[in-house]
Each structure stands twice: as C-alpha cells, then as structure tokens.
Amino acid sequence: MKKSFKLTVFLIPIGIAVNFIGGQIVLLLKLPLYLDSIGTIVVGALCGGIPGAVVGAITNLLISITNPTTLAYIWLNILFGLLAGYLGKKGIFTSLWKTIITSIGFAIIGGGLGSTITILIFGGLGAGATGAITGMLMTMGFSVQAGAFIAELFADLLDKIPTMIIVFFILKSIPVRTLVKLPQGKLYIPNNGKDQRIHNI
C-alpha cells in the first residue's frame, strides 16, 4: 500500500503534463476539440479520485498562468478526477461500451456545471466559441441558462466521447508490471487480478 502511494506522487506530474500535451497536439492537428482531461481521467482511474482531482486542480492552476479566466472552471477538473476515481473503482473502465456511456456523466459535469459557472461569473457570455453559440441561442429566444446549458453540454459531449475512447485504450495497454504497483491498477488486469502469474512478476 505504501509503495503504491509513492508511485502515485510520481504519476501526478505525468498526468498534468499529459493534459497539457493533449491540448497542444490538438492544436498541432487542428482538431475542433479540447482533449485536455485525458491525464486527469487516467490518473483518477488508476490511482483513485483524490490523486485525479489533484491532477485536475494543478493542471487548471498552471493553465491559468497563461489564461487566468480558466481559473473559474477549476471545479470541473476536480470533479472529473473524482468521478474517474469512483468509476474506476467500480470497474467501469474495463468495458468499452460502459466507458463510452460514462462520457455522458463527464459531459453533464463539464456542460452543466460549466454553464452554471459561465452564468454566475461571466453572465452566460464567456470568452470563447461556446459563448458565441450561447449568444446566438439567446437572440433566438432561449433564456441565458438554457442557451449556455445547451451550447456547453453539446460541445462537451463531442469532446468527452473521443476522450473516453482514448482513455479506455490507454488503460487497456498499460503493462501488468506497472498496474500491480498502482492503487487501483489491479482492477485492470485481465481475469480480475486473480491470475496466478501476477504473483510471479
């Protein structure tokens, strides 16, 4: 137990860097997505909710150095980490279909809570593309809340489905010798960790 805690400390910076680089590769490939919470969800799934939340929070703090408006959305990343830890514990991420369905949960946090924060702090009109969509929906007769909610939920679902598919394949491909040393890693070993060979590694 002690040993796995130590590996967690070293995995957190990796998760943060993966979040960053994910966002950068998206820019390089010119994709209309964010894909910037892969590290948070992977660390949450492997090490538990608290380390996942720590990854999310620190990623957000570091991004806020160059774009301080993102600081308002720190709760989203914390909740992503906690939810990933909880779902990981339940063994959801071992099946591709269940993993894809969880993207609805992440999108509700990202879209629902995200739009609430946008309304509370930026009056519904954030500085970004979804802000423009919200504004358009408002002129079409939707209320601020409904407009922001629809715009952000839609954008988030489009982002979280590919994120979860990538997370599933990453978790599936981590070698057993690394998994056994992580707090929730045993859940991802085939045969539910009861394989006799593991004890010989």
Q: Which residues bind other proteins (CB under 8 A)?
A: 6-7, 9-14, 16-18, 20-22, 24-26, 28-33, 35, 38-39, 42, 46, 54, 58, 62, 64-69, 71, 122-123, 125-128, 131-132, 135, 138-139, 162, 166, 169-170, 173-175, 178, 181
> Taking the complex as a whole, how short is the minimal distance between the CB of residue 138 and other proteins, in angstroms?
6
Both structure tokens of 77: 């990343």
Give the residue with the Cβ less far from other proteins, 13 or 91.
Answer: 13
Q: Based on CB atoms, which residue is closest to other proteins, 17 or 108? A: 17
Cβ 69 to other proteins shortest distance, Å: 6
| Min separation Cβ 28 and other proteins, Å | 7
Q: How far is the CB of 68 from other proteins (least distance, A)?
A: 4
Please answer whether residues 117 and 156 qualify as being in contact, where contact means their C-beta atoms are separated by less than 8 angstroms.
Answer: no
Q: How far is the CB of 196 from other proteins (least distance, A)?
A: 23
Q: How far is the CB of 41 from other proteins (least distance, A)?
A: 11
The radius of gyration computed from the CA coordinates of the chain, to the nearest angstrom, equals 18
Of the pair 16, 92, the CB lying nearest other proteins is at: 16
Q: Are 77 and 56 in contact (CB under 8 A)?
A: yes
Q: Which is nearer to other proteins, 76 or 171 (CB)?
A: 171
| C-beta of 82 vs 179, nearer to other proteins | 179
Please identify, using beta-carbon distances, which residue of 62 and 108 lies nearer to other proteins: 62
Give the length of the chain: 201
